[in-house]
Every structure is written in C-alpha cells, then in structure tokens.
Amino acid sequence: MCHTYEKKVWMKTRAFLISMVVMLAVTGISSSAWSYSGIVSVDTIQAEAGDHVAIPIRLSNNDESISALSVPLHIGSPYATIDSVSFVGSLLPDDFVPWVDPPDDPNDSVFITLIGTWTSPTPTITVSEGIIAIMYMTVSPSAPDGYIPIDSFFTTVDTYPGPDGEPVEVPRIRQVLASDATGMIVYLPDFVEGGIIVMSPTAVDDDSKDNNLPSSFNLAQNYPNPFNPVTTIEYSIPQGSHVKLEVFNILGQSVVTLVDGHQSPGTYTVDFDAFNQPSGIYFYRLTHSEGAETRKMTLVK
C-alpha cells in the first residue's frame, strides 16, 4: 500500500518538475534549452466529410535517451473532433506509462504524455523513430472542402486563486517537450504540423469503377484468435455508410467502440487492445446501413 502511494507521489512530482522546467524555458526565465535533434510530426491524410479517421503521431531523429515526452495537440477547425488516442503498436516501452488528458472527451485539444515507471535506473526511450500514438478523429458531416490543421504550439489559460480569493487567469504556452532521465533537463523537439485534407467524392463513370471494391458488407474473423492482448478486426463495406464497430463482454456490456462514423467503400482493419480486460469470451459487432453482424473472439492471458 505504501509502495503504491510513494509511486504515485513520485510520478506526479516528476511530471510537475518537468512541466515547471518547460514553462520556465518557454517563457524565457530559464537561461537556455538543451540542443536536441528529435522531431515530432503529425501525418496528413485525406478524408471526406463524415469520415472517422486514424492519424499517426510520430517521433523521428531521436538522438537522446528520453524519460518523458509530452505532446499537446490542438485542432484548428470546428469541423473535426478528437475521439480517442491509442498506443497500440507505438514505440512505448513496457516500462513506460501513457496517459491522455482529458481522458474521456478530448474534443478539440489533447495532451499525450509518456513517462517511465517507478524503477531504477530510470526507464528511457532510446529508439530513433517510431509511432508515439494513433489519434482517432471524426470529420463533421458538414465539413467543407479544405485543410484542417493539427498543431502543437498554442496557448491555454490556467486559473489560480488570487490574493483576494478571486480567480486569476494565467496564459500558458503549450508545445512539445521531452526530458532526460533526471527529469530536470528539458528538450524542445521540432514539430511538423499535420492535418486532414477534406475532399468531396469525385463522381466516376460506370466503366471506370474499381472492380476491387467489396460487393457486400462483411465482418471477418479477428486474427489472431485466441489473442493476447491485441487482435485485428477486418471488415468490408460496398458503399458509403455510417459504420459502428463495438466490442462487448460475455454479459453484453459494451467494452469499447472502435469505429463510429461515416466511411467510404473499401476494406478496413482495426486493432483491439484488451490489455486492461480479463480473459474470456468477447463479441464484436459491426452495424451498418443494411443491418449488423456479430462474431465471437477469445482473450487468453
């Protein structure tokens, strides 16, 4: 019990120290920021209005041992929202802990943080490149054609109690940051903005249609099955449709919604990470414009 409490206090204290060092650096109070060659970037993808999309956030050119990495992201448009963030397939080492703030309803801004666990020596990220996380987003059905930027440098307003008890608003600059193993040396990675290019579907003649498009709705068996703890679910849709892919436990309770939005014709794959779920039988259900399909899968830990 005491060990768990000390671990939580250590992680919160270390995160606070990192945050304070960076705040001093970006406001000019700190004398200098350490030289660092790492680059954090967001992919740019093409989508249609109403699409549900996945956007990778990447680290490249990393030339230091990093014990913490914080990536604030902001959507510069009211026509797209952040649904969730996944660390499946990321560069995250086993001895690192990820968290997302806010965890339940990110909406237009999200703070992604990776930090080493309470061990000695301090865990670090040493790979030169890899995916930090996958951000799942929904493009509004009313989104016009154009570019929706995803940036990391923006300002938020923190509220603190003033001397007279009245709240005081303090602007705070947000940007990508990393730290060394001590948590006391700050690195400021370069950032490459990404985003979503929204384009209306282009009409094509019947003679030029892609014969490789699926001819019917189909939900394939997940693979691998049984699995531990990640499995891939593949499904096909022959026409544009609002698609919802959910996972349920043996009691019929919803565990997670993997997809919920309009998608264009094609074949899609989605990963289900059951790291926090107990062993047992689960069901995944694909709901579309012509009905629904359900399959069973088994988690064995």
Please report, for the domain that includes residue 145, its CATH number.
Answer: 2.60.40.680
* Domain count of the fold of the chain: 2
Tell me, what's the pLDDT at 20? 41
Q: How far apart are CA 29 and CA 196, in angstroms?
A: 36
Residue 117 has pLDDT above 90, yes or no: no
Are residues 102 and 228 both part of a single domain?
no
Tell me, what's the pLDDT at 155? 65
Would residue 10 count as lying in a domain? no
Tell me, what's the pLDDT at 106? 56
Are residues 156 and 74 both part of a single domain?
yes
Tell me, what's the pLDDT at 5? 41
Lowest mean pLDDT among 54-68, 95-109, 281-295: 95-109
Tell me, what's the pLDDT at 268? 92
Q: What is the pTM of this model?
A: 0.57
Would residue 127 count as lying in a domain? yes
Tell me, what's the pLDDT at 104? 52
What does residue 49 show for φ and ψ, rounded to 5 degrees? Answer: -55, 130
**CATH assignment of the domain containing 268:** 2.60.40.2550
Mind giving me the DSSP string for 8-76?
A: HHHHHHHHHHHHHHHHHHHTT-SS--B----EEEE-EEEE-TTBEEEEEEEEES--S-BSEEEEEEEE-
Cross-strand partners of 80: 139
User: With contact defined as beta carbons under 8 Å apart, do 130 and 90 qualify?
Assistant: yes
Split at pLDDT 50, 70, 90, the class of 115 is confident
Q: How far apart are CA 272 and CA 164, in angstroms?
A: 51
Would residue 253 count as lying in a domain? yes
Would residue 148 count as lying in a domain? yes
pLDDT digits (tens, 9 = 90+) for 207-249: 444 556 788 889 999 999 899 999 999 999 988 888 999 999 9
Q: Which amino acid is at 233?
A: I
- Give the domain range for residue 137: 32-163+170-198
Report the mean per-residue pLDDT for the chain. 80
Q: How far apart are CA 61 and CA 141, in angstroms?
A: 37
Are residues 111 and 187 both part of a single domain?
yes
Are residues 145 and 241 both part of a single domain?
no
Would residue 145 count as lying in a domain? yes
Are residues 53 and 183 both part of a single domain?
yes
Higher pLDDT, 68 or 120: 68
Residue 16 has pLDDT above 80, yes or no: no
Lowest mean pLDDT among 10-19, 42-51, 111-120, 136-145: 10-19
Would residue 22 count as lying in a domain? no
Q: Which amino acid is at 149?
A: P
CA terminus-to-terminus distance, the chain: 26
Residue 170 has pLDDT above 60, yes or no: yes
User: With contact defined as beta carbons under 8 Å apart, do 131 and 89 qualify?
Assistant: yes
Tell me, what's the pLDDT at 97? 87
